[in-house]
Structure 1
Amino acid sequence: MLATSDLHGQILSYDYFANRPLFGTGLAQTAALIAAARAEAPNSILLDNGDFLQGSALTEMAAAADRRRGRPHPAITAFNVLNYDAVALGNHEFDYGLDRLAKALAEARFAVVSATVLLRPGPEPTADRTLVPPYVILTRHMRDRDGTEAEVRIGVLGLTPPEILDWSGDLLAGQVWVRPMVAAARAWVPQMRAEGADVVVCLAHAGIARPGFASASDEVAIEIAQIGGIDALVAGHTHLVFPPNPALMAMPGADPRIDSLAGRICGTPTVQPGHSGSHLGVIELELTATATGWTVTGGSGRTVSASEVVAGLSAPAIRRFAAPLRAAIASDHRAALAWTRRRLGQTTMPLSTYFATVADSQAMRLLAAAKEAAVRRALQGLPEAALPVIATVTPFRGGGRGGPLNYTDIRPGALSVRHVHDLYPFPNTLRAVRTTAAELRSRLERSAGLFLTLRPGLADQPLIDAAFPPFNFELAPAVSFRIDLSRPPGLGERIRDLALDGRPLDRDTPLVLATNSHRLGGHRWAGVEIPLPRQLCTQAIAAYVADHAEIGPQPGAVWSLAPLPGASVIFDSGAGALDHLAEVADLRPELLGLTDQGFHRFRLHL
């Protein structure tokens, strides 16, 4: 079983928003891994675990009907060209609504499955009316070790996170319902077996929970792996790689149910193949004939890195494997380049995210200013117009799981559509909540969980908690504050000296928080949402740039990591960080060298 997951529209190994080739990712390079695996094991099927319809300029073009002119979605075209057998729906497939999803899937020449997304719920899962089939049973003729042809029936079950009703609720409310993933799997697997499935593989768009933490509904891979009747599991969603997973292996209290060497969870062969085509998941199962069919008698999981394998191939070989895919997507590629290069304005200053998680950043200030301006316009004539508007923003391209090229680096000069999506790569809508400074402080406290607890006087302490999802880190550039990392996360004691316009913010101070649809749906809020006209965050940013024509230093306040005498930390960033050391001059950065992953490692002094 060959598997990809979380491709996010990365098909041709090209970063449209940074306007450069992107080595080591994308189906154009994963195609070589797929071809090699198929040659080695003719008894194979190819699967995808969701989040393929969103994430690049190709997918944004496909989501805009006026730019498509009736062409199939490029991600669907890619799956058709590579002869995928089945795919599951992830959460980002719903970012553009059901109509766009249906149009995209109409061109699929492979099975699309999800047992959790419902058009009408029944009294039990097996009585649900699902949006797409909950599973498919693939009949394949394979050869055994003696060369004898045999029929094998492979059941493929899909599970989509229930949070789609939170994250895309403005598009889905009242149209679909969602079952919990574990409950759906427990109900459908027996039916798949009753219908004659010799093998059952589950495509679960969920990650593997950290040791010592309760599983969130999007990190339930361990619970799913325990369900009887599942022979193999493909995990995803959190963009991590399994096996191996050093973070899971090295953390204290490592879960004994997770075998990172053999690629098994609770004895079930499992893979989580990274993101953007960075890895190919390979699950090997051994089947033994019985009187009633076939039984799985052994298996393991492994992942193959595209960057490592492709680096060993010649340029002609890479082109040969990718040629059918490139030919099929060529016109989409040209259209995406033309769209992303459309000029909106210009900037007099650099905009980067190399140090946006540790210091004040003009890139983050620009995002906040654009969101605040759009919300203020929408509040005109409302009672909330008199309140302060404070936007929360995230350095989405800030390295981490995205790798050493995953940074925004915009030089002074022209600002184009691609730069807007480089700063904000998600199709979220702008939202606003009337709340208080207490809620703002609470959100900043949760964001500060990105950092590990530090000790005074200790050198070279790791700063970033690798298990903390980077997309959950938020800043509020309109306010000043310090983060005290001597205090452990989760106690509400890290955010110090929170102030607006130089004045301390009392916890009961009313204000309007400008946020996005994903944040509003995926987290609890203390406040009341203010209805706004529907507008994408990227549209608000593009409008702000166009209205100002020339972008200079943006207003805002300064946040910082609180001083910790005698302490220094280790911080990894991209190669371009060397051109932006002035942004962290007060932290006295020292370059220590390159990591095995290609990051530039710095020592920062607190």
Structure 2
Amino acid sequence: MSYSSRQSPLYRQPSSFFKRSQTVKAKFFLPGVAIAFSTSLALPAFAAQTVDLTILGTTDVHGNVFPTNYFDNKEINMGLAKLGTLIKHYRKENKNTLLVDSGDALQGSQLIYYANKYAPKKKNPLISAMNVLEYDAFALGNHEFNFGLQALGKARSEAKFPFLSANIFLNGTQKPAFQPYLIKEIGGVKVGIIAFSPPGIALWDRANVEGKLEFRDILKSAALYLPELRRKSDVVVALVHAGLGGKYGPAYEGYSASTGLPPENVGEELAKKFPIDVMLLGHTHQDYPQEMIGQAVAAQALKWGERIAVVKLKLEKKEKGWKILSKESKTEPTVGIRSDFEVVKATQEMHQSTQKYIRSAIAETSEGWAAKSADLEDTAIVDLVNEVQREVTKADLSAASIFNSTLTLPKGKISLSQIAALYPYENSLTAVRITGKQLKEYLECSACYYNSYSPGGEAVNPKMRAYNYDMVAGVDYSIDPRKPEGQRISGLLFKGKPVSEEQTFTLAVNSYRQQGGGGYEMLKGAPVVYNKEEGIRELLLDSLKKKGRIEQGDVFRKNWQLLVPLDRDSRKFL
């Protein structure tokens, strides 16, 4: 799909400001004074000088420039091209506008994957788009490190705006690895912008950063820089690539406290402990139009460029600096917004190369693969995912679901888009350490996918989605729907020997499951032993490209079964 200059105008004006948001304003009163004066008479000396300041915030754009799903070429309301039109609209509305990003821009889409893997000498398309849009500052998120420090350094050198982080240091030193903060004067107002990155990068991207960088406690790092920044600034803006934590959610999500790393989601505590005026969050992919925490107005735009955060401040000039009279925020969607021509022009060549790449063959097979009954019997197509996960993590076991039961990989060439259909979600790969007791609980939870056995009855429980039915490779087991839920797993063996409750295993799972998603609470809090924030889909693609040819016999090993007869076509028990 290409984009022409005819698509650049904004044809839908953004919704009226703060229509549904809660507004918090400082009380301000100026008594009215009746004054008669001619056109040559100067304003009274006590007339207040005020400035309106707009701060625009994007986050978790994840490599999305074009509003395109590369796998099926469908239009989606997301990306920097659409955001660019909104950004220019708000700048036209108020010249005193700052544009910042709270991290995770440089990974996540096929565009940025192709650029880093297959066109590393060409300009980074995300940086090109951000340069066109004239960003003022960029906070480093965890995914900025996924392609390695060399790729990050290249992107940084191409950027016309600073990369910020106040809690990343050169290993073993007190020297910040990136600029901790920036002070920018706009409309006569000094705006201090500071950024924080998640400490979990030390675990998630260990291979890229170990021995080179340290990712320290956000709150302790804030204590080093925020008092100084407050003294130098009229307004303090914190770009926090982390969740709020506190009443909003757990402090630890992507890793556990047992790793020894500082907590991840500390936004609420940060805003309460330090004099921050504006907090723009990221990392959690949530949408927060406006939260008032401490003296800060906090906002977070939805992921992938689906929304932009818009903060408006009104300030009054005082004898010493400026006083904030009011602050309010919202998030604005990209629905119905045209793509910005300048952003499209700057990235079109890489976009077209990516589309060609998506349609390319990555491997071959001499037999057809089918997912039709993959949730009713052990199949090679699920084992393909499990074996790649085990190979990457070196885990004892691996768990995977079937996301698309209509998928087939026909005999012949396998295209990149077919593998994308096999694994359509943006899950990353993790591995946790569990006990034999937890493994049994895990399998029993999964076995609830089946109805209680009744001849002629439906085999699958309609209340449980297929993506929440996990099949585990690396152990042998049987499922008996004739037995009550919680007692259906039998014959559980590891390397031919019965599994004991005290035995421990490493289990490769996707990031959603690792956090207890889908009702798998027994995994929540399990020690994380592997997490490099690698997309499972990309790992599958890399594995198949490397092999060039894949046959079912390369990955398939029948290790689980249902102990009751059923008809796979009607999906009913016999």
The TM-score, its normalising length taken from structure 2, stands at: 0.68
1:279 corresponds to which of 307, 322, 331: 307
> Does the 8 A contact of 2:429 with 2:508 survive in 1?
no
Q: Give me the whole-angstrom Cα distance separating, in 1, the residues matched to 2:64 and 2:487.
A: 38
Deviation at 1:342, TM superposition (A): 2.4
3-state SS in 2 of match to 1:59: helix
1:129 aligns with 2:175: yes
1:198 aligns with 2:234: yes
Deviation at 1:103, TM superposition (A): 1.1
Corresponding residue for 1:208?
244
CA deviation string 1:339-398 (max 9, x = no partner):
232211257345599x98x998975432013344678xx8xxxxxxxxx94223478xx7
Deviation at 1:427, TM superposition (A): 11
Q: Give me the whole-angstrom Cα distance separating, in 2, the residues matched to 1:200 and 1:215.
A: 24
Count matched residues.
Answer: 467
Corresponding residue for 1:255?
none
> Does the 8 A contact of 2:314 with 2:324 survive in 1?
yes
Corresponding residue for 1:548?
550
Q: Give me the whole-angstrom Cα distance separating, in 1, the residues matched to 2:357 and 2:61.
A: 21
Structure of higher RCO (CA pairs closer than 8 Å, 6+ residues apart): 2
Q: Give me the whole-angstrom Cα distance separating, in 2, the residues matched to 1:304 and 1:27.
A: 13
One-letter code aligned to 1:366: L
Q: Which entry has the higher C-alpha Rg, 1 or 2?
A: 2
Corresponding residue for 1:153?
190
Q: Give me the whole-angstrom Cα distance separating, in 2, the residues matched to 1:438 and 1:100.
A: 43
CA deviation string 1:389-409 (max 9, x = no partner):
4223478xx7xxxxxxxx897
Corresponding residue for 2:521?
none
1:114 aligns with 2:162: no
1:328 aligns with 2:346: yes
Corresponding residue for 1:297?
325
3-state SS in 1 of match to 2:305: coil
2:492 corresponds to which of 491, 499, 524: 499
Matches within 5 A, 1:66-145: 67-68=118-119, 70-120=121-171, 128-140=174-186, 142=187
1:337 corresponds to which of 341, 355, 362: 355
1:369 corresponds to which of 387, 407, 410: 387
One-letter code aligned to 2:267: A
> Does the 8 A contact of 1:392 with 1:477 survive in 2?
yes
Matches within 5 A, 1:82-481: 82-120=133-171, 128-140=174-186, 142=187, 151-194=188-231, 196-209=232-245, 211=247, 214-216=250-252, 217-243=263-289, 262-307=290-335, 309-310=336-337, 318=338, 321-343=339-361, 344-345=363-364, 348-350=368-370, 364-372=382-390, 389-393=396-400, 410-413=407-410, 414-420=413-419, 423=423, 437-438=436-437, 440-441=439-440, 476-477=472-473, 480=477
Q: Give me the whole-angstrom Cα distance separating, in 2, the residues matched to 1:159 and 1:266.
A: 18
3-state SS in 1 of match to 2:349: helix
Question: What is the identity percentage for the equivalent residue pairs of Structure 1 and Structure 2?
Answer: 24
3-state SS in 1 of match to 2:135: coil
Corresponding residue for 1:457?
none
Kindly tell me: are residues 100 and 439 of structure 1, through their superposed partners in 2, closer, same or farther at Cα, counting changes over 3 Å? farther
Q: Give me the whole-angstrom Cα distance separating, in 2, the residues matched to 1:59 and 1:335.
A: 11
Q: Give me the whole-angstrom Cα distance separating, in 1, the residues matched to 2:490 and 2:409.
A: 33
Corresponding residue for 2:35?
none
Q: Give me the whole-angstrom Cα distance separating, in 1, the residues matched to 2:480 and 2:238.
A: 42
CA deviation string 1:300-319 (max 9, x = no partner):
22111212x43xxxxxxx2x
Deviation at 1:193, TM superposition (A): 1.9
Q: Give me the whole-angstrom Cα distance separating, in 2, the residues matched to 1:27 and 1:273.
A: 13
1:20 corresponds to which of 60, 68, 73: 73
One-letter code aligned to 2:57: A
> Does the 8 A contact of 1:371 with 1:540 survive in 2?
no
Deviation at 1:10, TM superposition (A): 0.9
> Does the 8 A contact of 2:141 with 2:197 survive in 1?
yes
